[in-house]
Amino acid sequence: MSAEKLREYLLTHGVPYEVHEHPLAYTTSRVAEVEHVSGKEIAKPVILMADDHFVMAVVPGHKHVDLSKAKEAFECENLRLAEEAEFADAFADCERGAEPPLGHLYGMKTIIDLRLDSPRVTFRGGSHTQTITMGLEDYRMAANAVIGDLAAGH
């Protein structure tokens, strides 16, 4: 796991988790495939620019962020998807595109979509060849986030 902030946080807070090595996977659907889990079990972080701050929306891997719902949830006037080049430096201990869904470790307010409700969740651990799996309640506690309505659809 290359995300040192994540590893240190999980260890110092005694959060139980498993690390899985897998073949190179860049997309959420490929991560689900190589980990043999449903997209519903993947915690997918989406970095947004809310007014002039980066924020993180976490949705199940098979869902997309509804920007109008996210704008309301983050209580901002302007909201857009952030470009990877804009926020890459914030995740200096991660491979580009492999950010873990614990935004508070990187100074970002985080909201977890209420549809992320599988008993166990899997997410990137800072690399395209490693994932972290943990119980949903452990993830919610570690994420230090609120639960909200962010995903498109039902």
What CA–CA distance (Å, rounded) separates 35 from 122? Answer: 9
In terms of DSSP bridges, do strands 146-148 and 109-113 run parallel, antiparallel, or are they unpaired? parallel
Is the whole-model pTM more than 0.85?
A: yes
Q: Which residues contact 140 (CB under 8 A, 6 or more apart)?
A: 112, 147
On whether residue 42 sits in a domain, the answer given is yes
Complete DSSP assignment for 22-38: -S---SHHHHHHHHT--
Write the CATH number for 130: 3.90.960.10
Residue 35 domain flag: yes
Domain range for 30: 4-148
| Domain presence at residue 9 | yes
18-43 pLDDT tens trace: 999 999 999 899 998 999 999 999 99
pLDDT at position 117 is 96
Q: Is residue 153 part of a domain?
A: no
E strand intervals along 2-140: 18-21, 43-50, 53-60, 79-81, 109-113, 120-124, 130-135
Sheet of 18-21, strand order: 18-21, 130-135, 120-124
pLDDT, residue 100, reads 96
Q: Is the dihedral of CA 37, 128, 69, 121 positive or negative?
A: positive
Average pLDDT value for the chain: 94
Query: How many structural domains is the chain composed of?
Result: 1
Task: Give per-residue pLDDT as tens, 29-85.
Answer: 999 899 999 999 999 999 999 999 999 999 999 999 999 999 999 999 999 999 999
